[in-house]
Amino acid sequence: MARVFSGIKPTGSVHLGNLLGALRNWVAMQDEADAVYCVVDLHALTVPHDPDELRAATRSLAQVLFAVGLDPDRSTVFVQGHLTEHAECAWIMECTASFGELRRMTQFKDKSDGADFVSGGLFTYPALQAADILLYDTDQVPVGEDQRQHIELARDIAVRFNGRYGETFVVPEAVIPPAGARVMDLQHPENKMSKSDDGAAGTILLLDDPAAIDRKFKRAVTDSETEVRYDPAGKPGVSNLLSILGAATGRSPAEAAVGIERYGDLKAATAEAVIEVLRPVQERYHELAADPAETDRLLAVGADKARAVASATLDRVRTNLGLLPRT
């Protein structure tokens, strides 16, 4: 069975784009692959943060992952900072990547441009991500298009390390979902729905109540025509609603359009479908949130499973690198 690994950062709130574009796929892969999923809290340290908020966001994101259907018996779900192996391996990855490679990462350029404080960690972020992936002998990494460059770097690091020190790492590949899996902002349908627009009218949060969801869809931007038709270039707002309605009801956007004549009906149908998709997720989330000790227990089980794999890989890495064995 192929090993699949992916990670999600505990910053901002999980939204409908994360669910339909990524997390649903994570759930589906539990049955097809040996799936390992990680809440990457160490990656959240690259920018200044509040410790209480990080602690709460990390646990809450884990609860979201369990609530959407990740099953600790069928996959491994853990918190990156619970293992020492990730930070240790990241140093070795930093010494295997070149300065030039790290400097070419567009996410670093985007996030550092104009920032008051740029941490060293923001620069070496992709080396930690390579450690995440390579520690698990990962075959496939499901991510959004924006992460492709980081996965390419992880591949290059694996190939270089294997060439210098002998076969050590599996060379992973990115699995990018089709463009249809992209959920756009309801107010600015030319941009993807994003965590960075937390709370904004264009973002449906996973924990929004039905009234908020209804209101956000009612106010969604459409266009001055009246025809309900799937045409992402010509009608981005209407097409986004059709994609969401289709994804929420297991149909294509064009199928979702059948029988809907007016924009008002499209908005109402989409809101209803999204509310129905989110209802059971929210119920499970609130149950889990009421019992944080149970979440922590599940995460401890996940960390033990993850450590068994990661520590074996890291032992191999240390030996092949020529680090003196610990006795």
> Applying CB under 6 A, does 17 fall inside the site for ligand ATP?
yes
Picked from ligand LTN, ligand ATP, none, the partner binding residue 281 (CB below 5 to 8 A depending on kind) is none
> Applying CB under 6 A, does 143 fall inside the site for ligand ATP?
yes
305 noted as active-site residue: no
Q: Judged by CB under 6 A, which stretch of 60-68, 109-117, 125-133, 188-196 contacts ligand LTN?
A: 125-133
Whole-angstrom Cα distance, residue 283 to residue 214? 18
Task: With residue 173 as reference, give the H or E element that holds it.
Answer: strand 173-175
> Applying CB under 6 A, does 232 fall inside the site for ligand ATP?
no
**Residue nearest ligand LTN, CB atom distance:** 7
Among residues 133, 241, 242, 273, the one that binds ligand LTN under rule CB under 6 A: 133
Whole-angstrom Cα distance, residue 286 to residue 256? 31
- Contact letters (x/-) for ligand LTN, 18-47, by CB under 6 A? ----------------------x--x----
Note the residue count of the chain.
327
111 noted as active-site residue: yes
What is the amino acid identity at position 79?
V
Among residues 122, 130, 183, 317, the one that binds ligand ATP under rule CB under 6 A: 183
Picked from ligand LTN, ligand ATP, none, the partner binding residue 141 (CB below 5 to 8 A depending on kind) is ligand LTN
Whole-angstrom Cα distance, residue 292 to residue 191? 35
Please state at what angle helix 236-249 crosses helix 263-289, rounded to 10 degrees: 50
Cβ distance to ligand LTN smaller for residue 41 or 238: 41
Exposed/middle/buried for residue 106 (C-beta within 10 Å: 0-12, 13-18, 19+): exposed
Q: Which residue's entry shows tokens 């990730």?
A: 86
Among residues 3, 9, 82, 150, the one that binds ligand ATP under rule CB under 6 A: 9
Cβ distance to ligand LTN smaller for residue 40 or 257: 40
Picked from ligand LTN, ligand ATP, none, the partner binding residue 133 (CB below 5 to 8 A depending on kind) is ligand LTN
Tokens in use for 292? 């944080």
9 noted as active-site residue: no
> Applying CB under 6 A, does 141 fall inside the site for ligand LTN?
yes
Tokens in use for 141? 């990494």
Residue 298: C-alpha distances to residues 290, 306, 314, 315, 325 (Å): 14, 12, 24, 26, 33
Neighbours of 244 (CB within 10 A): 27
Q: Judged by CB under 6 A, which stretch of 3-11, 69-77, 249-257, 276-284 contacts ligand LTN?
A: 3-11
Query: What does the angle CA 37 – CA 208 – CA 281 come to, to the nearest 5 degrees?
Result: 45
Neighbours of 84 (CB within 10 A): 12
Point out the residues that are catalytic.
Answer: 111, 192, 195
Residues that bind ligand LTN (CB under 6 A): 5-7, 9, 40, 43, 129, 132-133, 141, 143, 147, 150
